[in-house]
Amino acid sequence: MALTTTPMTATIGAEIGGVDLAEDLSAETIAEIRAALLEWKVIFFRDQAALDRDRHVAFGRAFGELEVHPLTPKDQAEPEIFVLPSGGKHKAPGVWHSDVTWRPEPSLGSILRAVELPPLGGDTLWADMGAAYDLLDDVTKEEIDDLIALHDFTRAFGFGQPPEVQEKMRAKYPTVEHPVVRTHPETGRKTIYVNASFTNGIKGTDPRDAYGLLDRLQRQATIPDVQCRFRWEPGSVAFWDNRATQHIVSNDFLPARRVMERVTVVGDRPF
């Protein structure tokens, strides 16, 4: 069966049908999925209940090397799987972000599958950061086009830890520099590449000035015109391009439980 594509908005998000991700997919099918990802930035697959952990990893590997997150337990059978549990008072990531921008070579994309869902709520929203860049005025574009941002692992994962613990974390995962405006390596699209989870400054800019500019740029993700919203169902899978998008989870489901599992495809150094 040929793949079907049903767009969700004019620029971002599409549901892909006609494929079982648990099967051994042909090179042609993988190429079609990759093309849909580049066009729609985030793509969704329904009714993928047969996709277990092993097949989840296998599907991710069809698009490149997979990373192992430093917070994954060392004894976990599938180290490439990053488990994202939430419930009770423990929230899902409720800040707009792009995954692992604290790495020198951040993620190409992430593939997330629903493992346990609440009765209601827990939707995920994605923002097209190319469209968000386009909505900036020309003066701001000129101001930011050559700026370099600082991305820090401890900003999110060291939150609340004492300074000495944060310094140990930073020694293992040093602050990295990425352009404020990234050029997508496959489409050539300019995108805003700063996010509230991991970006903590702009190189050579007074922190007070940097804070105001970063806040303005990060708020571009909150514009409804650049967003799509996905309502999870059992067997749902989302695959998004971290080079082109940011995402956020609605925590309206708490205190119910929500468990997701993610594999992350390694990308290249932003330019």
Q: Is the peptide bond prior to 255 cis by the omega test (within 30 degrees of 0)?
A: yes
Instruction: Indicate which residue of 178, 182, 243, 247 is catalytic.
Output: 247
pLDDT at 158 over 80: no
Instruction: Indicate which residue of 56, 97, 113, 151 is catalytic.
Output: 97
| Distance separating alpha carbons of residues 52 and 56, to the nearest angstrom | 6
Q: What's the pLDDT tens digit per position in 54-70?
A: 999 999 999 999 999 98
Does residue 249 come out as left (phi exceeding 0), alpha (psi in the -120 to 50 range) or beta?
A: beta
pLDDT at 133 over 70: yes
Q: What's the pLDDT tens digit per position in 181-216?
A: 999 999 999 999 999 999 999 999 999 999 999 999
Q: Is 24 a catalytic residue?
A: no
Instruction: Indicate which residue of 103, 113, 184, 262 is catalytic.
Output: 262
Model confidence band, residue 1 (pLDDT cutoffs 50, 70, 90): low
3-state secondary structure of 166: helix
Q: Is 99 a catalytic residue?
A: yes
What pTM value is reported for the model? Answer: 0.94
CA distances from 150 to 103, 194, 267 (A): 11, 9, 18
Least confident of 2-16, 112-126, 156-170, 221-235: 156-170
Q: What is the pLDDT of residue 162?
A: 80
Q: Is 247 a catalytic residue?
A: yes
- Cβ contacts of 159 within 8 Å, gap of 6 or more: none
Average pLDDT, the chain: 95
Instruction: Indicate which residue of 99, 128, 152, 241 is catalytic.
Output: 99
Interval 43-49 mean pLDDT? 97
